[in-house]
Amino acid sequence: MAQVTFNEDLCKGCGLCVEACPKNILQLDKERLNSKGYHPATCVDKDQCIGCTQCATTCPDCVITVER
């Protein structure tokens, strides 16, 4: 099982990871703001993560870490 983690304070809410996820389990958290004032990306169903790393590869700010 893969584990995806986000350094939320670095996230600028661009949504590229949300678009890249083939399982559609990532979204921008519209309920919270990070320290920079952006809605951070989050995984809504970590059990469905397949560890493909497409989100981490797409992220321009190296916010995402995927461990298998």
Cα-to-chain-centroid distance, residue 34: 13
Asked if 33 and 8 touch (Cβ cutoff 8 Å), the reply is no
**What's the pLDDT at 52?**
97
**What's the pLDDT at 68?**
87
Question: Distance between CA atoms of 64 and 33, rounded to whole angstroms?
Answer: 17
**What's the pLDDT at 1?**
81
**What's the pLDDT at 19?**
98
pLDDT by residue for the chain (68 residues), tens digit each? 899 999 999 999 999 999 999 999 999 999 999 999 999 999 999 999 999 999 999 999 999 999 98
Give me the domains of the chain, ranges plus CATH numbers.
Answer: 3-67 (3.30.70.20)
